[in-house]
């Protein structure tokens, strides 16, 4: 395969995000990304063998940027994490539409499934690591911090799914409740462990 021109993989991901945001997932193709970037389709194929691989790399890029930002946050990590998740929770969520589309594709495509699974495990670990920054010990005896990371990730993804599917889903109310829940749990770690 010929070497691509001077465009980077990161540049193509940025063009792909813009293309997806403008055209939607239904009309998203590698050709559309190439046209948007002003390169040949072969250049896109050089970096991404399939449309699914480009979509996965887009999701990974969004996640990595989010985790980097969260890891740099020093004050109220849970509030910052919930605010970030809430900002992507809507009926038109670019990120979650992309993420759930890939999850569905992964049901029938083992390689996509493995990569989405790896991404979920990284998210779970990142959440657990951030929770260790604010909780000296788990707030409920018998539930380790790693499990809290998985639970928080599942709650956020579940809320996003409902926001995509239910018109007028009460995102603000749900995130206020979630913030109260984690605030209460944080106070528990300052007191005796709950048995």
**pLDDT tens per residue across span 42-86:** 999 999 988 888 988 988 888 888 777 766 665 667 777 788 888
Judge whether 152 and 127 are in contact, CB under 8 Å. yes
Superfamily name with CATH number, domain 51-189: Tetracycline Repressor, domain 2 (1.10.357.10)
Q: Which pLDDT value is given to residue 74?
A: 59
Q: What is the DSSP string of 31-63?
A: HHHHHHHTS-HHHHHHH-SSHHHHHHHHHHHHH
What mean pLDDT do residues 170-191 have? 85
Q: How far apart are the first and last CA of the chain?
A: 61
What count of residues does the chain have? 195
pLDDT band at 189 (very low <50, low <70, confident <90, very high): low
Distances (CA, A) of 23 to 19, 36, 39, 95, 124: 6, 11, 18, 14, 31
Work out the angle between the directed axes of helices 145-165 and 94-106 (0-180°, nearest 10): 100
Q: Where are the domains of the chain?
A: 1-49, 51-189
Residue 155 has pLDDT above 90, yes or no: yes
Q: Name the β-bridge partners of 140.
A: 194
Q: How many Å is the maximal CA-CA distance in the chain? A: 64
pTM: 0.79
Class of domain 1-49: mainly alpha
Query: Looking at residue 154, what is its pLDDT?
Result: 95
What tokens does 112 get? 């996509």
């Amino acid at each position: 395969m010929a070497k691509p021109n001077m465009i980077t993989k990161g540049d193509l991901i940025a063009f792909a995000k813009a293309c997806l945001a403008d055209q939607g997932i239904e009309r998203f193709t590698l050709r559309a990304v190439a046209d948007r970037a002003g390169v040949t389709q072969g250049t896109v194929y050089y970096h991404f063998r399939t449309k699914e691989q480009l979509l996965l790399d887009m999701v990974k890029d969004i996640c990595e940027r989010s985790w980097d930002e969260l890891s740099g946050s020093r004050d109220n990590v849970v509030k910052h994490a919930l605010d970030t998740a809430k900002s992507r929770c809507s009926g038109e969520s670019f990120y979650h539409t992309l993420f759930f589309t890939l999850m569905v594709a992964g049901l029938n495509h083992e390689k996509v499934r493995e990569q989405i699974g790896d991404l979920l495990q990284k998210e779970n670990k990142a959440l657990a690591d951030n929770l260790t920054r604010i909780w000296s010990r788990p707030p409920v005896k018998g539930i380790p911090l790693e499990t809290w990371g998985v639970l928080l990730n599942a709650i956020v993804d579940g809320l996003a799914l409902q926001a995509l599917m239910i018109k007028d889903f009460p995102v603000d109310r749900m995130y206020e409740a979630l913030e109260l829940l984690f605030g209460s749990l944080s106070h528990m770690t300052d007191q005796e462990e709950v048995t």
